[in-house]
Structure formats: C-alpha cells, structure tokens
Amino acid sequence: RNNIYDLTLDAGRGNNGVIGIDYLANNRGSIQNVTIRSGAGAGVAGISLTRRYPGPCLIKNVQVDGFDYAIHITHYEYGITMEHVAISNQRIAGIANENNVLAIRDLRSSNAVPAIQNLFASGMVVIIDSVCLNGTSSHAAIENQGDLFARNVTTAGYASAIQQLGIYQNGSVVDEFVSGQVASLFATSLRSLNLPIRETPDTVYDSIGQWVSVVDFGATPDVSSHDDGPAIQAAIDSGASTIYFPQGAYHV
C-alpha cells in the first residue's frame, strides 16, 4: 500500500549516489503522475525496486530524466506493470530488469543507451505500443537475455530494435516478436490476439457531497447475519458518484 502521487523530485547536482525513489510495494501500490529528474544526469536510479520483493505494483504517467538507470528492478518476484512512462538521458540503460517480470505499455524512451535490458535468463519482459528514439549504432533498443514478447515497438538510431543473446534482430520496427518457441493446441495463427486495451482506472477526486454510505440505506457493519445486499444495491442505485463502507463486517 505504498502509493506516491502527483510529485516532482529533483535530485540536484553532484549527488552521484542518489536514488530518486527507493521503492517497495507488494500486492498493491503505485507511483503515478510523478516526475523525477537529475540536475546533471548523475545518480544511480530514478526509481529503484531492488529491495525484496517488489510487486505487484503499478508505475503510470511517470517521467524520469537522467541517472544511470531510469528504473532498476531486481529479484524474482512478483511483477511490475508500467503504463505511459517516459525516460530520457540515462547513462547505462533506461529500464534494467534482473529476474523480475515486467509488463510495459507505451514506453517512450529518448536514449543513446539501451531502452531496456533484460539481463538474466529468468527475467521476463512484455513490451507493447512503445517508441525508443535517439539510439546509437553501438546498442540495440532492447537487449534481451531472458524471455521477451514485443509488439508494435518502433525504434530509431539503434543498430536494431532487439539484441537477443548477442544477435541483432528485427531491424528498427517490431511488429511482433517472441523470444522462445510459440506453443498452441490448435492449428491457428501463432500470433497474439492483439485485443483492445483498456486504461487502468484513475482515482476519482469527487466532492464528498456526492458520496453515500451503505449504512444510510440500511447496511449494518457488524457481525450479525443480517443480509446487507439490498442496502448495498440501493446505494449503488442512488446515482452517487462514490459509495463507501464504514469500517466493519458486511454480509451479502
């Protein structure tokens, strides 16, 4: 339940060992609408997820400028989701993954170094609908040593979009790439379904005057066997923008 919202962090100058956010969340937690920048590019990481054990958690609408790594992730558990992340001017790599499982959508990278390094065989990365620009011919946009699924990834300036176990692949545009063997029970296309993607829901900061309590409709937050279902349904049907449950036990 570690959540960081609506914040700008400036690491200043001369802080070579600085970390913007030294972060750990398990099961639920997020960093949203946050900008992290290093005054002169120095620093270890904009976001460090190197404590045991990061995830599941969400990183959304985040910008990181400078540092050795924009986001550095270690450990086998438990999965990081990223949406709408912009990274730039890193010195070693944009996102470095050591053994964790990353799901990334709409990454925008402006870097001479690799945008993503999936550093070990047990690491897994999914990246879709992303752009990696301003690369150099000495790197690939994505350097992969583990499992990788990439779809709709465009790169510019790099030697290749993907370097898999030292071999450059896929030119500058990735329509769809799977690092391993695709298995199927049916004689169908060995491609992903490319289903529409819904945005993760945003927190609504509405007026408290638009809130209603389920207790006002007859729910009882206690240990009785009273059926609170009708009261909860009545609260939902009231048209209020937010429905809340005072602390207690409810039975449906």
Q: What is the pLDDT of residues 234-249, one digit of tens each?
A: 999 999 999 999 999 9
Distance of alpha carbon 75 from alpha carbon 98, whole angstroms: 6
Residues in the chain: 252
pTM metric for this prediction? 0.87
Confidence of residue 73 (pLDDT cuts 50, 70, 90): very high
pLDDT per position as a tens digit, 115-165: 999 999 999 999 999 999 999 999 999 999 999 999 999 999 999 999 998
> Going by C-beta distance under 8 Å and a sequence separation of 6 or more, which residues neighbour residue 222?
248, 249
pLDDT higher than 80, residue 203: no
Q: What is the mean pLDDT of residues 57-61?
A: 97
How would DSSP label each residue in 79-147? -EEEEEEEEE--SSEEEEEES-EEEEEEEEEE-SS-SEEE-STT-EEEEEEEEEES--TTSEEEEESSE
Q: What is the mean pLDDT of residues 226-234?
A: 96
Distance of alpha carbon 233 from alpha carbon 230, whole angstroms: 5
pLDDT, residue 210, reads 92
pLDDT, residue 225, reads 85
pLDDT, residue 31, reads 98
Q: What is the mean pLDDT of residues 23-30?
A: 94
Helices (H), the chain: 229-237
